[in-house]
Structure 1
Amino acid sequence: MPISRTTIGTVVVGGALSLTLAALVYPSMLGVQNVSTNASRVIANTRYGPLTEADRNFVVFVRSAGLWEYPSGELALKKGTTPAVRTAGQHLVIGHAALDAACRKIAPELGITLPNQPTPQQQGFLNKLTSDTGKQFDTDLANILRVTHGSIFSTIAKIRATTENTLVRQLADQANDVVLDHITQMEKTGLVNQDQVNFQETVPPKLPSNQVTPPVPQPGEPVVVLSPPPGVPTNGVPTGEPTNTAAASAPAG
């Protein structure tokens, strides 16, 4: 059965933990541009260990990344002009389906609200890839995805090194493996401009918070499930339910 997502304003009682509203709503800035005044602040004490702002932001960011990188993988399977690009697309679909399943599993346990849409910046990346054709698509996919995965790699390491929450630690372990695999696949296309990538990773654009924050879902909004389309082998990797990415898997709440 699909896992229901805890909605904003819900207080979980008698289960894994008891939370206040402040612990459920994700902040105004996420990911590599997190500007929280105190990311180490404990926002909930759970039976899996304390949950900090940084822990919560990480879970939300992993989910948000999948909401645009998964469909980017689907585009690569359809539009990639080389076997290496199509293989990279397969890895994107499988890896983010697995991470999505993990996020949807732990979010209710930790009282974290998950987004159903990527950030405006991420949607812009996806729009670019959607409009691309031919070799331009191949090149943009390899370089955009190489930058985004490289940028989050150090964040994963920091979360893994500092979190005291066992569920977040497990997600960080999984994300580390998936992101490293995706970095490798992008490089195997032979299309990555490493000088450009290094510059973009070390001097990222300074964007307003509303561009790097996924929209908060409305109460009762169905949870989007990322699941590999028919015919894409998962090689035994646990993923989501066999549902179209735009389909509703279950009502939130």
Structure 2
Amino acid sequence: MLPDAGQKDPVAEAQFQNEKRIGDENVTEKQERDAEFVVKAASDGMLEVELGKLAQQKGTTPTIKAFGQHMVEQHAEANTALKALADRKGLVLPASLGQEQQETYSQLAGLTGTQFDKQYMAAMVKDHKSDVDDFEDMSEEAYDGDIRGFAAKYAPVLKEHLEKAEELNEQVEDLP
């Protein structure tokens, strides 16, 4: 899941491939926005899975470990559905974490103890806020009905993740 240092950014590469195809087929900006959403959703989903695995290893409390496991399971399911959707639509998804996601992963992987717990939960709140906004917007505004449907299906799930992340974030903020 983690790219080689010399490799192109997989997220940027997927965006480029989709824009090229969309450009070649002379489709609309709305379809381009759909493709950007799908790529971002895929890269964020992969990051949630990788960070969830990390939380299961490094979390200092059973709650953090359980949240990490929940993220792995739920985001893996969404990632599978997204991959099938992208395949049907002829969209390219990143094969591994993008540079930005890789930096987040590396930063968290370098932490231990309660510092990990705090940074992990802060990252979960931040990422899920962004995801909820994207998914809610696209559940109404996506050009493609299937992409709209995907966003509508997973927006409430992400909202639930955000609420749980905010709750856990408050619990770990006061840790030493």
**The TM-score by the shorter chain falls in which range?**
0.7 to 0.9
Instruction: Give, in whole Å, the separation in 1 of the partners of 2:129 and 2:164.
Output: 12
Match runs of 1:1-253 below 5 Å:
21-23=20-22, 42=28, 52-189=31-168, 190-191=170-171
Instruction: Give, in whole Å, the separation in 2 of the partners of 1:171 and 1:100.
Output: 11
Q: How much has 1:22 moved relative to structure 2?
A: 2.3
**RMSD of the TM alignment (CA)?**
2.6
Instruction: Tell me: CA distance 1:159–1:142, structure 2 relative to 1, closer, same or farther (3 Å).
Output: same
Structure 2 gaps of 5+ residues are: 1-13
Q: How much has 1:185 moved relative to structure 2?
A: 2.2
Q: For residue 52 of structure 1, give the secondary structure of its aligned residue in structure 2.
A: helix
| 1:83-114 alpha-carbon deviations (Å, 9 max, x no partner) | 22112102210121011111110112111001
| 1:116-153 alpha-carbon deviations (Å, 9 max, x no partner) | 12221111111111111110110000001111111232
Q: How much has 1:20 moved relative to structure 2?
A: 9.6
1:24 and 1:113 in contact (8 A); partners too = no
2:34 and 2:143 in contact (8 A); partners too = no
Structure that is richer in helix per residue: 2
TM-score of the superposition, structure 2-length normalised?
0.78
| 1:219-247 alpha-carbon deviations (Å, 9 max, x no partner) | xxxxxxxxxxxxxxxxxxxxxxxxxxxxx
Instruction: Tell me: CA distance 1:128–1:95, structure 2 relative to 1, closer, same or farther (3 Å).
Output: same
| 1:160-198 alpha-carbon deviations (Å, 9 max, x no partner) | 1112422101210233123212212212323476xxxxx
TM-score of the superposition, structure 1-length normalised?
0.55
1:84 and 1:188 in contact (8 A); partners too = no
2:60 and 2:114 in contact (8 A); partners too = yes
2:43 and 2:97 in contact (8 A); partners too = yes
Structure 1 gaps of 5+ residues are: 1-7, 9-18, 26-40, 44-50, 194-253
- Structure with larger Rg: 1
Q: For residue 134 of structure 2, give the secondary structure of its aligned residue in structure 1.
A: helix
Instruction: Tell me: CA distance 1:70–1:172, structure 2 relative to 1, closer, same or farther (3 Å).
Output: same
Q: How much has 1:42 moved relative to structure 2?
A: 2.2
Aligned residues: 155
Range with greater deviation from structure 2 (184-193 or 122-131): 184-193
1:139 and 1:191 in contact (8 A); partners too = no
Instruction: Give, in whole Å, the separation in 2 of the partners of 1:172 and 1:192.
Output: 30
Instruction: Give, in whole Å, the separation in 2 of the partners of 1:24 and 1:118.
Output: 25
Q: For residue 64 of structure 2, give the secondary structure of its aligned residue in structure 1.
A: helix
